[in-house]
Structure 1
Amino acid sequence: MPVPAEYDRASDQFYQYLVDARDTAGLWSTHVTYTMTQGVFQTFRRRLSMKDAIAFAGVLPICLRALFVTDWDTDEPIKPFESCEVMTREVQSLRSEHNFSRETAIQDVARALRRHVDEAAFDQLLAQLPEGAIDFWKP
């Protein structure tokens, strides 16, 4: 059996996402975009149970799935969904001296991410997650 296309093209698809998110956010580098995306993912993940987080990761492309679970402190307490401003500051706190995420980081990642997932499956999963998940991923 050949390697499934999802795995065979994972790096290309990841880079396509980074370029898309970079352009969506008006950033200058895919490196900066990587940190922004990781910050958004960590901020969202902190508001989910492990079961819900694994389910969410399952609708992401392979490399974004890996980024979503990277550096996961599974003992960290679950946080409530808060205002966009509070959660954006949390995004910006990841590697804060090298984080250039803008005030629109969550929405920018949401807009770009939706172009790289099966949007129907993504929305169906979000509807099963705790209150606040759907609003978090509104573009």
Structure 2
Amino acid sequence: MPVPAEYERASAQFYDYLVDARDTAGLWSTHVAYTMTQGVFQVFRRRLSTNDAIAFANVLPICLRALFVTDWNLDEERKPFEDRESMTREVKLLRAEHNFSPETAIRDVAQSLRRHVDEEAFDRLLARFPEGARGFWEP
């Protein structure tokens, strides 16, 4: 069996996402978009059960899947979904000295991410998640 295309094109697809996120958020660098995305992913992940987080990761492209699980502290206390402003402040705590995520970070990542996933599968999955999960990813 050949290597699946998802793996062969992983780096290019990841960079395409980073450029999309950078441009959507009006940022100047894919490095800044990377930190913004990782922060948004961590904030969302903290609000899911481990099973739900793994299911979520599985609908992401391979490199975004890896970013979603990077630095995962399984002992971290699970948090409730809050208003977007509060969760955006939490996004900005990741590498705070070097985090330039805008106030629209969650919305910007949601918009970009939806252009890089199977949106129907993404929405079907979110419909099964706890209250607040679907709203988190609304653009």
| TM class, shorter-length | over 0.9
Q: Find the aligned partners of 1:128 and 1:65 in 2 and give their Cα distance.
A: 19
Report the equivalent of 2:136.
136
The separation in 2 between residues aligned to 1:93 and 1:83, in whole angstroms, is 16
Q: CA RMSD in A?
A: 0.3
Aligned to 2:19: 19
CA distance, structure 1, for counterparts of residue 72 and residue 8 of structure 2: 26
Letter of the 1:64 partner, please give it.
L
Q: CA deviation at 1:122?
A: 0.1
Q: What is the one-letter code of the residue matched to 1:25?
A: A
The amino acid across from 1:26 in the alignment is G
The sequence identity of aligned pairs, in percent, is 79
CA shift, 1:79, in A, is 0.1
Aligned to 1:75: 75
State the match for 1:91 in structure 2.
91
Instruction: Give the TM-score normalised by structure 2.
Output: 0.99
Equivalent residue, structure 1, for 2:53: 53
| Partner AA of 1:70 in structure 2 | T
The match for 2:100 is: 100
Gaps of 5+ in 1: none
Match of 2:122 in 1: 122
CA distance in 2, matches of 1:129, 1:95: 28
In the TM superposition, what is the alpha-carbon distance from 1:2 to its structure 2 partner?
1.0
How many residues are aligned here?
139
Residue 23 of structure 1 aligns with an amino acid whose one-letter code is D
The two structures have a TM-score, normalised by structure 1, of 0.99
Alpha-carbon offset, residue 95 of structure 1: 0.2
Q: Following the alignment from structure 2 to structure 1, what is the Cα–Cα distance between the partners of residues 5 and 23?
A: 25
Post-superposition CA distance 1:55-99 (Å, at most 9, x none): 000000000000000000000111000010100000001000000
CA distance in 1, matches of 2:129, 2:73: 20
AA aligned to 2:125 is L
Secondary structure (helix, strand or coil) at the match of 2:128 reads coil
Cα displacement (A) at 1:112: 0.2
| Structure 2: tracts of 5 or more residues without a match | none
What's the secondary structure of 2:48's corresponding residue? coil
